[in-house]
């Protein structure tokens, strides 16, 4: 290779590297999408949501009233698990079984055993955070939930995830595409596994958006100060 070709190769390489960075940034490769950290307790959403039919808001109780969806306090877990201990005796529910994960919960809650309640040395569970938007982004859960955006729209089929992973890229393009193109509550309900008509059971205090029935896409503001301030 000649000297001249050598000198073109280095800038060329640099340009390619820059290109790769930009490509990765815009393609969403710089997002932590699909990250699925191992949690201190392997909490099974499917058991709680699909099998037991618990509502998301039972544990994430601030999702419809705060920026922050809220995490269940240890006492919320122990509200049920005080009586549902790590060792299940054989019964009509099934054979005798031991759960390591409930045992871990008991350790965090400093619970001596079923029925004993939380002990004096209880510690909060240090969950690993999966979904995070940068500090300069203000994402109000309440606004989205009250507009009829279902959890699954952004978090994926979380009720089926044995280990939660980041479903959406959470990049700005992803946010804006929904604000610009609009969100269909009908599709959202379907993603959550509901038939649209089930929405009709909502109380009169919070009437269902008219768009549910029509399938109209609900658009939202997407100027910068909507989220960045």
Partner 1 sequence: MSQDISKTGVKRRDFLKVLGASSAVIATTACSEDTGKLIPYLVSPDQTVPGVSSYYATTCRECSAACGVISETRDGRSIKLEGNPDHPLNRGALCARGQSALQGLYNPDRFRTPLFKDATGWHATTWEDAITRLGTALGTAQKGGAVFLNQHESGSFPRFLDGWLAGFGMPAHLSVDFEADSAAIEANRRSYGVAWPSLSFKDAKLILSFGADFLDSWGANVPQQLDFADARAKLDGAPRFVYIGARRSLTGLNADQWIACKPGSELSIANALAGKGSVQQAATDSGVAANVLQALVNELGASKPVLAVSGASGDNALDVALAVAAINQASGAVGTTIKPATPITAFEGIAHTDQVLAAVERMRGGQVGVAFVRGTNPAHSLPKSVKFGEAFAKVALKVSFSSYPDETTEMCDLIIPDLHSLEQWGDAEPVRGTIGVQQPVMDPVFSTIKGGTADALIAVAKKGTPTAAAATSADYRSWFIANFPGGAAGLAAALPKGITSGTIAQRALPPAAAPVATATPMGSTTGDFFLVTYPSPVLGDGRGANKPWLQELPDPVTKICWSSWVEIHPETATRLGIERGDILEVKTATGTVRAPAYPYLGIHKDAIAIPIGQGHAAVKSMALFDPKHHSTGDVQWGYGRYSRDIGVNALDLIPAGTDGAGGLVWTATKASISKTGDNRVLPSTEGSARQHGRGIAQAIDAADLNKAPGGDEARVEVLPGDASHEFLPGLRAPVAADAQGDLGSPTALGHGIEKGMYNPNDVRGMAKRRWAMTIDLARCTGCSACVTACYSENNIPTVGAYWQNATLFADARPGFNIERGREMNWIRLERYFEGNPDGKFGEDFETRFVPMLCQHCGNAPCEPVCPVYATYHAPDGLNVQVYNRCVGTRYCSNNCPYKVRYFNWFGYGEQDRKQYAFPEPLEWQLNPDVTVRTKGVMEKCSFCVQRIREGENRAAAEHRELHADEFTSACAQACPSRAITFGDAADPNWSVAQLAHDRRAYHVFEELNTYTAVVYLKKVNHPATGATAPAAN
Residues at the site binding partner 1, with contacts judged by CB under 8 A? 1-2, 5-6, 9-10, 13, 16-17, 20-21, 24, 29-32, 35, 61-62, 64-68, 70-76, 118, 122-132, 134-136, 138, 140, 142-143, 146-147, 180, 205-207, 219-226, 228-229
Phi, psi (5° rounding) for residue 66? Answer: -150, 165
Closest approach, Cβ 71 to partner 1, in A, equals 4
Given the complex with partner 1, which of 88 and 131 has the nearer CB atom? 131
Given the complex with partner 1, which of 85 and 148 has the nearer CB atom? 148
Closest approach, Cβ 93 to partner 1, in A, equals 28
Given the complex with partner 1, which of 68 and 100 has the nearer CB atom? 68
How far apart are alpha carbons 210 and 169 in whole angstroms?
A: 29
How far apart are alpha carbons 197 and 215 in whole angstroms?
A: 12
Given the complex with partner 1, which of 21 and 47 has the nearer CB atom? 21
How far apart are alpha carbons 136 and 129 in whole angstroms?
A: 18
DSSP state of 27: H
Given the complex with partner 1, which of 84 and 180 has the nearer CB atom? 180
Q: Tokens for 197, please give them.
A: 């008509």
If you search the block for the tokens 């790769």, which residue do you land on? 20
If you search the block for the tokens 């269902």, which residue do you land on? 208
Given the complex with partner 1, which of 157 and 226 has the nearer CB atom? 226
Map residue 218 onto helix, strand or coil.
strand
Dihedral-angle region of residue 105 (phi above 0 means left; psi in -120 to 50 means alpha; beta otherwise): alpha
CA dihedral sign of residues 57, 179, 226, 34: positive
Closest approach, Cβ 97 to partner 1, in A, equals 27
């Amino acid at each position: 290779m000649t000297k001249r070709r050598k000198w073109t190769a280095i800038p060329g390489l640099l340009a390619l590297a820059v290109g790769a960075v930009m490509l990765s940034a815009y393609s969403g490769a710089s997002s932590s999408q699909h990250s699925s950290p191992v949690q201190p307790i392997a909490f099974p959403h499917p058991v709680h949501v699909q099998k037991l039919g618990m509502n998301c808001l039972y544990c994430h109780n601030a999702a419809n009233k705060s920026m922050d969806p809220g995490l269940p306090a240890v006492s919320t877990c122990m509200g049920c698990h005080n009586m549902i201990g790590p060792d299940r005796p054989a019964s009509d529910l099934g054979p005798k079984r031991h759960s390591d994960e409930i045992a871990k919960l008991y350790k965090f809650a400093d619970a001596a055993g079923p029925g004993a309640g939380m002990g004096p040395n209880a510690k909060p569970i240090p969950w690993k955070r999966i979904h995070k938007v940068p500090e300069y982004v203000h994402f109000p859960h309440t606004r989205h939930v009250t507009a009829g955006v279902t959890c699954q729209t952004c978090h994926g089929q979380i009720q089926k995830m044995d280990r939660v992973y980041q479903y959406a890229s959470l990049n700005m393009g992803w946010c804006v595409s929904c604000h610009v193109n609009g969100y269909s509550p009908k599709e959202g309900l379907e993603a959550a596994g509901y038939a649209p008509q089930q929405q009709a059971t909502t109380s009169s205090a919070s009437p269902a958006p008219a768009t549910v029935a029509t399938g109209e896409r609900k658009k939202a503001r997407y100027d910068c100060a909507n989220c960045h301030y």
